[in-house]
């Protein structure tokens, strides 16, 4: 029983990371119409920048600075590269571009910080187990869940309540009409891309406190993130959150019974969802069927 | 006409390789209501898309309020004071009525959210409904309200009466006519030739991407035969020259 709880809890943590990554990816797919294979790369960049800055500005400062810098780099990348993909009906171009960019990020990180894993210090106050029976429930893990929940709520509040957020939601379905209403849709897309990469950077910093920093840390997450988006339904942000949590938990629970299948189970879930409900759990009708 | 708010010359517009507009020219003077008629596929929507910046012409020149806007992006043209009510309304279905009204970049001017809800009281009672829940008439009101929030000096309307019940059509045209008193110039695309000619000062008729007629609206309004010949609108029903049916319902 305890083992099951342990694995389920781990799965939940994994799931919150997938959810946060999938949220950003989903925003970018929806408004920028670009399938961002470099999304994991932005996660890595956020983590390493936080690692480098932490000695100067502390863990808390780095927790904010890392993601913000990842968002800033996101704007630069969008302005200089990604925007040339807009209006190309064939997604192969954006796939090739972002896939290539993901490889470049990985190599740049390897060149600057080395291929070896690096430890990321977290405040000791957060590091101790909160209970002796459930040793795996550390303060930091609870903190991660709370932080991701907070970021998710903040994003949804932004999209619901701010004018900028409302325009992003409008643009997801009809960017052309948004532009005829005087909204600078170029800026809207840039900022949206940056919000997506900022969320990836945030996931990266939080993940660094649990795992180690490694140039490849994005690779393990990116495929699961895509699965989360597809399972949740392309175009649905809430679906991405659900999809992420679902596949994380499923992988965790599978680990308890049959560890070898834990990687495969998420693809099985995806296959089942695509067969039973091609639009995904909360996706819009008509997008894929 | 010296005080033209809109002047387009020799527009050549394409969708990819298909050449749609073959040298379209027209003018709208300040305070004027101009109606653009034409058969299905004549290029009316394409004309509006060209001058609102959505499908820029490959050749020709567009001048709005004295600015050469031929190569401007749509949002800058809107910010100049051009309101656009697109064909099919294109309400944001995933946004509430109030959220739909929060999308426009509001220029300073008389129109505010409160004011447009005063103009269309129906929308006020449905302010928290989703766009997709609105009836055709409500969607049309919302599309006009949304465009008014830009505080336009020139309003482009693409078939505002499309798919609406006669009573609503009358309501829409009452509002359109009242815009003139607000100092807004209007370019109206219509299939409902009777109403289109009734409110307009002047009329243009487009066919196969070319202007085949321009003149005072009153003249043409008296001559239904001529309208039918030029604009190809269908048979007579209760004295109304009716348009082809379109998909969205009232
Ligand atoms: N996106 C597009 N790609 C290619 N061709 C198009 C596109 N949109 C319209 N067309 C073609 O351009 C021509 C003009 O279309 P347009 O929509 O401007 O006509 P319209 O006068 O507005 O007609 P309607 O009364 O049916 O709205 C038509 O032949 C149409 O098939
Ligand atoms: Mg049309």
Interface test with A, best of B56, B86, B93, B99 (most A CBs within 10 A): B99
Above 60 in pLDDT, residue B1? Answer: no
CB-count exposure of residue B136 (10 Å: 0-12, 13-18, 19+): middle
Which residue from B23, B52, B40 is spatially nearest to B211, judged by alpha carbons?
B23
Contact A98/A37 with Cβ under 8 angstroms? yes
| Helices within B13-165 (DSSP H only) | 44-51, 74-79, 97-100, 113-119, 121-125, 136-148
Contacts of B241 (CB under 8 A, 6+ apart): B192, B193, B194, B224, B227, B228, B233, B234
Q: Residue A129 pairs with which residues in a beta bridge?
A: A138
Q: How many whole angstroms separate alpha carbon A74 and alpha carbon A67?
A: 10
CA angle B47, B216, B234 (to 5 degrees): 65
Q: Using an 8 Å Cβ cutoff, are A179 and A187 in contact?
A: no
What is the per-residue pLDDT for A137? 79
A262 within domain boundaries: no
Q: Residue holding tokens 């299939």?
A: B191
Q: Is residue B239 over pLDDT 60? A: no
Distance from the B167 Cα atom to the nearest Cα atom in chain A, whole angstroms: 27
Which residue ranges of chain A lie beneath pLDDT 70? 285-289
Interchain contact A163–B (C-beta under 8 A): yes
Element (H, E) at A41: helix A39-80
Mutate to test the pocket of ligand 1, among B44, B159, B205 (most ligand atoms within 8 A of CB): B44
Q: What is the DSSP letter of A138?
A: B
Taking phi over 0 as left and psi of -120 to 50 as alpha, with beta for the rest, B23 belongs to: left
Q: Which of A172, A176, A183 sits opposite B103 (nearest CB)?
A: A183
Distance between Cα A69 and ligand 2 center (Å): 46
The per-residue pLDDT for range B107-152, each reduced to its tens digit, is: 999 999 999 999 999 999 999 999 999 999 999 999 999 999 999 9
CATH assignment of B4-91+153-243, among 3.40.50.10490, 3.40.1530.20, 3.40.630.30, 3.40.50.300:
3.40.50.300
Residue B109 zone, left/alpha/beta (φ > 0; ψ -120 to 50; rest): left
Sign of the dihedral through C-alpha B133, B138, B143, B148 = negative
Q: What value of ipTM does the predicted structure carry?
A: 0.90
Query: Is the separation of the CB atoms in B96 and B129 below 8 Å?
Result: yes
How many H-runs (helices) and E-runs (strands) does chain B carry?
Answer: 10, 12
B132 touches chain A (CB under 8 A): no
Please give the distance, rounded to the nearest whole angstrom, from the Cα atom of residue B201 to the centre of ligand 2.
21
Residue B244 clears pLDDT 80, i.e. is over it: no
Residue B59 phi/psi, 5-degree rounding, is -140, 165
CA distance A182 to B147: 10
Give the Cα separation of B102 and A162 in Å (integer). 9
Each residue of B53-78: pLDDT tens digit? 999 999 999 999 999 999 999 999 99
Q: Which of A267, A198, A222, A195 is nearest to A30 (CA)?
A: A195
| pTM for the full predicted model | 0.91
Domain count along chain A:
1
Q: Please indicate whether residue B239 or residue B218 has the higher confidence score (pLDDT).
A: B218
Ligand 1 pocket check: which of B19, B22, B24, B46 to mutate, most ligand atoms within 8 Å of Cβ? B46
Q: Taking the domains of chain B in order of start, what are their residue ranges?
A: 4-91+153-243
Chain B interface includes A126 (CB < 8 A): no
Phi, then psi, of B193 in degrees rounded to 5: -65, -35
B222 φ, ψ to 5°?
Answer: -80, -15
In chain B the beta strands, taken as DSSP E runs, fall at 4-15, 18-29, 33-38, 59-64, 67-68, 82-85, 154-158, 185-189, 202-207, 210-216, 236-237, 240-241
**Closest C-alpha among B161, B156, B157 to residue B193:** B161
B233 pLDDT band (50/70/90 cuts)? low
pLDDT digits (tens, 9 = 90+) for A108-147: 999 999 998 898 888 887 877 777 777 777 889 999 999 9
Strand partners, B205: B37, B213
Would you say A216 and A203 are in contact if contact means Cβ atoms under 8 Å apart? no
Which residues, other chains included, contact A99 with Cβ-Cβ below 8 Å and sequence gap of 6+? Answer: A37, A38
- Expressed in angstroms and rounded, the spacing between residue B15 Cα and the centre of ligand 1 is 9
Whether residue A204 contacts residue A43, with contact meaning beta carbons closer than 8 Å, is answered with: yes
pLDDT score of B249 more than 80? no
Residue range of the domain that includes A195: 16-220
Is B84 in contact with A173 (Cβ distance < 8 A)? no
Chain B contacts of A169, Cβ < 8 Å?
Answer: 92, 94-95, 99
In a domain, A248, yes or no: no
Rounded average pLDDT over B3-26: 95
What is the pLDDT at residue B237? 40
What token pair was written down for B172?
Answer: 């829409």
* Whether B84 contacts chain A with CB within 8 A: yes
Ligand 1 cavity residues, CB under 6 Å: B 15, 18, 20, 38, 40-46, 87, 191
Backbone angles phi, psi at A283, to 5 degrees: -70, 160
Interface contact flag, A179 B92, Cβ < 8 Å: no
Q: Does the residue A284 lie in any domain?
A: no
β partners of residue B64: B6, B67
Q: Do B78 and A184 touch (CB under 8 A)?
A: no
- Cα angle value A107/A266/A249 (rounded, 5°): 100
Whether chain B has a CB inside 8 Å of the CB on A238: the answer is no
């Amino acid at each position: 029983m305890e083992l099951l709880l342990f694995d389920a809890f781990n799965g939940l943590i994994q799931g919150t990371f997938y959810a946060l990554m999938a949220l950003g990816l989903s925003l970018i797919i929806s408004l920028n119409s670009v399938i961002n294979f470099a999304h994991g790369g932005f996660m890595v960049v956020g983590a390493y920048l936080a690692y480098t800055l932490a000695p100067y500005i502390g863990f808390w400062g780095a927790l904010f600075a890392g993601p913000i810098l990842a968002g800033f780099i996101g704007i630069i990348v969008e302005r200089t590269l990604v925007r040339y993909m807009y209006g190309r009906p064939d997604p192969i171009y954006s796939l090739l571009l972002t896939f290539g960019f993901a490889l470049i990020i990985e190599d740049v990180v390897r060149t600057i910080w080395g291929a070896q894993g690096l430890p990321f210090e977290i405040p000791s106050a957060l590091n101790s187990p909160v209970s002796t029976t459930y040793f795996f429930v550390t303060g930091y893990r609870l903190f991660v869940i709370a932080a991701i929940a907070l970021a998710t709520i903040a994003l949804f509040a932004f999209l619901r309540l701010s004018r900028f957020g409302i325009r992003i939601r409008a643009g997801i379905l009809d960017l052309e009409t948004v532009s005829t209403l005087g909204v600078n849709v170029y800026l809207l897309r840039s900022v949206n891309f940056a919000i997506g990469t900022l969320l990836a950077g945030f996931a990266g910093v939080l993940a660094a406190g649990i795992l180690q920093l490694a140039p490849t840390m994005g690779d393990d997450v990116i495929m699961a993130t895509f699965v989360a988006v597809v399972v949740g339904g392309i175009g649905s942000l809430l679906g991405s959150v659900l999809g992420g949590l679902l596949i994380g938990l499923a992988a965790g629970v599978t680990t308890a019974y049959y560890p070898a299948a834990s990687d495969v189970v998420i693809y099985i879930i995806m296959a089942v969802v695509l067969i039973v409900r091609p639009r995904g759990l909360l996706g819009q009708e008509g997008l894929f069927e | 006409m010296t005080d033209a708010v809109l002047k387009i010359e020799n527009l050549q517009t394409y969708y990819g390789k298909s050449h749609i507009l073959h040298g379209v020219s027209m003018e709208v003077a300040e305070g004027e209501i101009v109606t653009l008629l034409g058969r299905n596929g004549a290029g009316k929507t394409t004309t509006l898309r060209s001058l609102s910046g959505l499908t820029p012409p490959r050749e020709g020149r567009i001048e709005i309020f004295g600015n050469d806007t031929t190569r401007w992006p749509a949002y800058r043209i809107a910010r100049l004071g051009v309101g656009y009510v697109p064909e099919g309304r294109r309400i944001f279905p995933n946004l509430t009525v109030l959220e739909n009204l929060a999308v426009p970049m509001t220029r300073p001017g008389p129109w505010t959210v409160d004011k447009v809800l005063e103009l269309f009281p129906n929308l006020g009672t449905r302010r928290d409904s989703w766009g997709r829940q609105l009836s055709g008439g409500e969607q049309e009101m919302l599309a006009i309200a949304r465009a008014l929030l830009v505080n336009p000096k020139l309003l482009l309307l693409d078939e505002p009466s499309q798919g609406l019940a006669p009573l609503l059509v009358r309501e829409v045209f009452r509002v359109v006519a009242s815009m003139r008193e607000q100092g807004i110039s209007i370019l109206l695309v219509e299939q409902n030739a009777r109403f289109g000619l009734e409110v307009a000062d002047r009329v243009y008729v487009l066919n196969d991407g070319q202007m085949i007629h321009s003149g005072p609206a009153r003249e043409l309004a008296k001559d239904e035969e001529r309208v039918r010949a030029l604009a190809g609108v269908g048979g007579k029903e209760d004295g109304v020259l009716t348009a082809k049916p379109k998909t969205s319902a009232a």
